[in-house]
Amino acid sequence: RTVEVRAQEFGNNVQSAAATATYDISGVPASRYIRVRGVNSSGTYTSARLGIWNLRFWTGAAQTGTSHPTNMVSNTTDTNGNNYYTITAGHYYSQYVPHKAFNSSTSVYDLWWALSTTTANNWIQVKFDSTQFPTPPTIGSIEYGNYGSGSDATHFAVETSDDGTTFTQRGIFALIDNNTTQNFG
């Protein structure tokens, strides 16, 4: 899709040149790694901590299709004993380990929490196993459970990578500062 914007002062027939931008509504492209990172509204990395008690990436729009990852009981194992995903984070505080963002908890106190984070380590990510996912899934929507009183991040970015080293920012999303689930896409 292409968006075109022009500025015009009321009562004046003078109009600015058009500024255009294009965007793709197909969702996050298939990538081996998907990372969520704390950012500000312009997408700049921030140390404003994240606290996530439920995070899911869905293959369809409006939280439909298949959700990824499955319910995790450790950073590498789901409730069925499968090792299809590897969950890592740049930092975590105490017992608030990374996989807790993906354990389908309904408690805002059973979470991954990046308390005392820095701009460099304020992220959590999912790696899709190459055997189970020869082609990683395309992401169409996101479900995000924000720990409002323990998360001072105002926005998060979704980043993707095929090698786990070089990440591309795919979108910036505003967070509601309360203990609620938000749906994006």
For the stretch 16-51, pLDDT in tens is 777 665 555 556 778 999 999 999 999 999 999 999
Query: DSSP string spanning 23-84?
Result: ---S-BPP-SEEEEEEE-TT--B-----EEEEEEEEEETTTEEEEES--BSSSS-BTTS---
The dihedrals phi and psi of 35, each to the nearest 5 degrees, come to -120, 140
- Written as one letter, the residue type at 95 is Q
Q: Which amino acid is at 20?
A: T
Write the pLDDT tens digit of every residue in 110-131.
Answer: 999 998 899 999 999 999 999 9
Tokens of 41: 């509204």
Cα gap 28→45, rounded to integer Å: 19
Contact 109, 101 (CB under 8 A): no
Residue 20: both structure tokens together: 């255009």
Q: Which residue has the tokens 């500000």?
A: 40
Q: pLDDT tens-digit profile of 5-15?
A: 777 776 777 77
pTM of the model: 0.84
